[in-house]
Amino acid sequence: MTGNGKPKLAMYWASSCGGCEISVLNIHENILTVDEVFEIVFFPCIADFKIKDLESYPDGYIDLCLFNGAIRNSENEEMAHLLRKKSKVLVAFGSCAYEGCIPALSNLTTKEATFNKVYIDNPTIDNPDGIFPQLVSKVDEGDLFLPNFYHTVKSLDQVIDVDYYIPGCPPEPHQIWAVLQVVVGALTEGLPLPPAGAILGAGTTALCEECSREKHEKTIKRFYRPYEIQPDPDQCLLEQGIICLGIATRAGCGALCPSVGIGCRGCYGPPDGVEDQGAKMLSAIASVLDVGDESMEEDKLEELIQEAVDTIADPVGTFYRFSMAHSILKRVKNGKGAV
Amino acid sequence: MERITIDPITRLEGHGKIEIFLNEEGDVKNAYLQIPELRGFEQFSIGRPAEEMPRITNRICGVCPEAHHMAATKALDALFDIDPAPVVKKLRELFYSAFYVTDHTVHFYALGGPDFVLGPDSNPAERNILGVIHKVGVDIGIQVIECRKRNHEVIKMLGGRGVHPVAGLPGGWSKSLTKEERDTILDFSQKNIDFALFSLKIFDDIVLANQAYVDLIVSDAFTHKTYYMGTVDDKNQINFYDGLIRVVGPEGKELVKYPSKDYAQHIAERVEPWSYLKFPYLKDVGWNGFVDGVDSGVYCATPLSRLNAADGMATPKAQEHYERFYETLGSQKTAGLYAPVHHRLATHWARLVELLYAAERMQELANDPEILDPNVRPIVTNTPTEGVGSVEAPRGTLTHHYKTDENGILTDVNLIVGTTNNNAPIAMSIKKAAEGLIKGGVVSEGLLNTIEMAFRNYDPCMSCATHSLPGQMPLEVQIKDAEGNLIGTQSQYID
Amino acid sequence: MNDQFEPVIVGFLCNWCSYRAADLAGTARIKYAPNLRPIRVMCSGRVDPQFVLQALRSGADGVLIAGCHPGECHYVNGNIKALRRFMLLKKTMEQWGIEDERVQLLWASASEGTVLAAAVTRMTEEVRALGPLRWGEKVLIDNRAAAYAVIQEAQHDR
């Protein structure tokens, strides 16, 4: 592969879904500018560079590496270390790399339960010998190898140093393009890069700022499941009793989900100043739940509040939908530790 | 035993590697496709509210989240025992058709097309979307970008977001269509039809007009006679959104036709210790190994299999091209029905026929006056129990199965995902291609590309790019003796 | 030396009522379990759920939130907000797999030194019976090196 002086770009996926790659392509004609400016040197989604090629590059060869996907298994981690070595600037791209995202919901269960469900206990399985995938399996011709499925899903910064974060599941194309323009400016015109550790391609405050629904004082008496009511199209969803994590979520996407009548689930992560998005959402929901007052008896208070709290289905899975790997507690007990 | 490793497989969704073992003569003894990843959606979805599944299962695949969103939403319909209003079904199918257009377009131009437009033995430097552009005209790249752009706009309009849509609800959809949006979609659907016909013409001019390519398509190395699965409507015509699941045998005889709720009676999955991905097969036939034939439960679920499993297409232009497809490939017509085509590379052509159908269907639905009905979000009061929903994902029949408690919190989940259906046939295709090309331990450049072609026609769940393949596919093949000593290397474009 | 497990209980006590109750228990020389580590906040409504989780993550075996009786809050209804947060937090504790007794809420006015003392002693025994939580050590222990070694051993012959 002959070099040609252009800055080198890599995009890699660990435990992910490919949505980040599609979102990059959704910058549409701007992709032609990316092609003009950068030389792609590792991007398994669309190009055939193999791991051997990556290993052969000098350290720091890659100018910009967009790393998406969570750290689920040993292969994901190995690739994280390898790409860190070979990259000048490495970005945790998208919610999985940033804070765990959907794959990290697996931290609410265990590896054993997962393997049991997938390979033993389901309606279509035909596995009378109880075979599980093995790290090493012997076939007639030799040995075959698979990576080790860790007990806990980690975010990228829990295994390597990360230079920047771009939140979102996936990051919105207009935000991706904005960030790429900043990088291109730095590479071609010497413009300054943001401070290390910065969260790029997003706002700093809560999503409510971007949401066009009308907001009034929140005096919520109870919550509804999305199919239990027909929400008013103009009024704040949370005020109508539909769980919306916008109040504890970083702005940046344009409040797309509320604009079609569906409550936000927090895929852009917490706003500035919040460590644990789920706990903050819990606190915020409790603040706006207008049930019980200081004139009531203690027993009556508890009863009323319990009733209201019971209208929230699956608080942990909802409030931590995308941020489990960055949460304070990180996982449920499993008797096996975090890896 | 000599061993060849290709790691990672590139240009697909997810991770994979191929291990090829040679015998003493240097011929292929066996080849293994290993999928090294697992995330465990079936387990961690337990405990979640069922109505969250359209948004959770989206993240199984960011290329076809629309498919998971739709299968999940239909599973919710079944779970809550609701038959959605006609406008809801039409709106969903309209959304789904736009998705099919963008998805099939990208696969043909960026992944499958280059091998045909330029040829499998052509200069690898040219064998990518850029080479396609040089050969057929510079406007092509822009047209592909425009096609993706307009259809993703429709997806966002109807589903809320360009990737990982959110509008699916039990028995409903969270937003209705305005007149302005409908008019835009109508305009886009005509552009889509024109683009689909144009793409089929490209296939004609560049592939079918070239005898060498036709020979390749019909060659034995790329032919497998297995069962074929697809979803059909009440006229046995393809429908991507809804219908009965139909399986036909290698000779074209219908094996079974069932509603999605009966899927577990017909599909079983095997486990191999060397892959995290399971291997589905047909229970009605039984597992007989990774082999072809009427006695083997191996089946595939791709555009080719959908065309084979159906009796025709539900829209006029697509039906014309359907007939042309079978006639050109020499399929015998019996009692008005064509025998299946077994040539796997013809899947690329079948994909374009489906592209045309999706575009025409989009126009039909957008023209339907009922599509503007604003009553799309019903209030649901039934107690949920259990439900199965399925759709045709571009890469195969996709089934979601949910069980909940009376509060709608999931207690059990089972998923049979599109590409999973094809795990066994893909493995077989790779092995057959390798067998045909590696003789006496000599690894040729043709091998490197042909293995990729054997994989690629199944459209393994990652379609991509309007451009941006370097053309030079850097690939290194190492040949090791039984002690693991390196005895030879074949590489291209690696410095 | 007593080998018995001594629970670490972190307490968030409000300035106007429960912290004064703890003061009173001290000046009145009421004997009670020494396991509480008190932290004064202005109001129980100040207690962010993140504090509770951070305490559990950092080594606490239990957390006590204590405030004024409903109707007596210096800020009128700060304690009502605390109650709502607490009840929602309890629901999540169930999902995390953390036992009910480890996170408790208590109302204690400034004159109720004995109430506070009794509650701390009772909670200490309840948590003692459950055993140490040690979230960081037991649940989040980083045994990646072991997981890696398995893989490297397996691939050693390649």
Among chain B residues, CA nearest to C95? B47
Question: Residue C44: CB partners within 8 Å, gap ≥ 6?
Answer: C12, C14, C18, C65, C66, C67, C68, C73, C78, C79, C82
Structure confidence at residue B479 (pLDDT): 59
Helix (H) or strand (E) holding A73: strand A71-73
How many domains does chain C divide into? 1
Q: Which of A79, A108, A294, A309 to mutate to test the interface with C (most CBs of C within 10 A)?
A: A294
Higher-pLDDT residue of C86 and B114 is C86
Counting Cβ atoms within 10 Å, is residue B483 exposed (0-12), middle (13-18) or buried (19+)? exposed
Tell me if B459 is assigned to some domain. yes
Q: Is the pLDDT of residue C127 over 80?
A: yes
Model pLDDT for residues B275-313, shown as the tens digit of each residue: 999 999 999 999 999 999 999 999 999 999 999 999 999
Domain that holds residue B486: 17-36+438-492
Residues above pLDDT 90, as percent of chain B: 66
Counting Cβ atoms within 10 Å, is residue C100 exposed (0-12), middle (13-18) or buried (19+)? exposed
Structure confidence at residue B489 (pLDDT): 60
Among chain C residues, CA nearest to B482? C158
- In this prediction the ipTM stands at 0.95
Structure confidence at residue B10 (pLDDT): 67
In this prediction, residues B413-418 reach a mean pLDDT of 93
Residues above pLDDT 70, as percent of chain C: 89
pLDDT band of residue B465 (cuts 50, 70, 90) is very low
The pTM score is 0.92
Angle at the Cα of A23 (from A17 to A29), degrees rounded to 5? 145
Question: Residue A300: CB partners within 8 Å, gap ≥ 6?
Answer: A292
- Tell me, yes or no, whether B486 and B348 share the same domain: no
pLDDT band of residue B221 (cuts 50, 70, 90) is confident
Tell me if C4 is assigned to some domain. no
DSSP 3-state assignment of B399? strand
Structure confidence at residue B127 (pLDDT): 61
> In this complex, which of A282, A293, A306 lies closest to C85 when CB atoms are compared?
A282
Size of interface A-B (CB pairs under 8 A): 298
In this prediction, residues C103-123 reach a mean pLDDT of 97
Tell me if C95 is assigned to some domain. yes
Tens digit of pLDDT per residue, chain A (339 long)? 344 588 999 999 999 999 999 999 899 988 888 877 888 888 887 776 778 889 999 999 999 999 999 999 999 999 999 999 999 999 999 999 999 999 999 999 999 999 999 999 999 999 999 999 999 999 999 999 999 999 999 999 999 999 999 999 999 999 999 999 998 888 888 999 999 999 999 999 999 999 999 999 888 999 999 999 999 999 999 999 999 999 999 999 999 999 999 999 999 999 999 999 999 999 999 999 999 989 999 999 999 999 999 999 999 999 999 999 999 999 998 766 555
For chain B, say whether A131 makes contact (Cβ under 8 Å): yes
Tell me if C1 is assigned to some domain. no
Size of interface A-C (CB pairs under 8 A): 139
Most distant pair of Cα atoms in chain A: their distance = 78
Q: Is the pLDDT of residue C112 over 70?
A: yes
Tell me if C129 is assigned to some domain. yes
Domain that holds residue C135: 9-157
Q: Is the pLDDT of residue B225 over 80?
A: yes
Helix (H) or strand (E) holding B134: helix B129-136
Yes or no, beta carbons of B268 and A149 under 8 Å apart: no
- Tell me, yes or no, whether B201 and B105 share the same domain: yes
Yes or no, beta carbons of A117 and B274 under 8 Å apart: no
Tell me if C47 is assigned to some domain. yes
| CA proximity to B127, closest of B137, B116, B138 | B116
Q: Is the pLDDT of residue B365 over 90?
A: yes
Among chain A residues, CA nearest to C82? A286
Tell me if C3 is assigned to some domain. no
pLDDT band of residue B131 (cuts 50, 70, 90) is low
Higher-pLDDT residue of B296 and B463 is B296
pLDDT band of residue C137 (cuts 50, 70, 90) is confident
Q: Is the pLDDT of residue B448 over 70?
A: no
Region class of B222: left (phi > 0), else alpha (psi between -120 and 50), else beta: alpha
Structure confidence at residue B487 (pLDDT): 63
pLDDT band of residue B475 (cuts 50, 70, 90) is very low
- Helical segments of C74-112, H only: 78-96
Tell me if C2 is assigned to some domain. no
- Tell me, yes or no, whether B101 and B205 share the same domain: yes
- Tell me, yes or no, whether B359 and B487 share the same domain: no
Model pLDDT for residues B34-80, shown as the tens digit of each residue: 988 889 999 999 999 999 999 999 999 998 999 999 999 999 999 99
User: Is the distance from CB of B216 to CB of B345 less than 8 angstroms?
Assistant: yes
Tell me if B238 is assigned to some domain. no
Model pLDDT for residues B228-263, shown as the tens digit of each residue: 999 999 999 999 999 999 999 999 999 999 999 999
Structure confidence at residue B472 (pLDDT): 29
- Tell me, yes or no, whether B21 and B118 share the same domain: no
Among chain A residues, CA nearest to C50? A279
Contacts of A among chains (3+ CB pairs under 8 A): B, C
How many domains does chain B divide into? 2
Any idea where the domains of chain A sit in the sequence? Answer: 8-103+152-189, 110-151, 207-319
Higher-pLDDT residue of A335 and C71 is C71
- Tell me, yes or no, whether B368 and B458 share the same domain: no
Hey, what CATH class is A8-103+152-189 in?
Answer: alpha beta
Tell me if B233 is assigned to some domain. no
Q: Which range is least confidently modeled, A103-107, A139-143, B96-100, C53-57?
A: A139-143
**Cα B391 to Cα B397: distance, rounded to the nearest angstrom:** 6
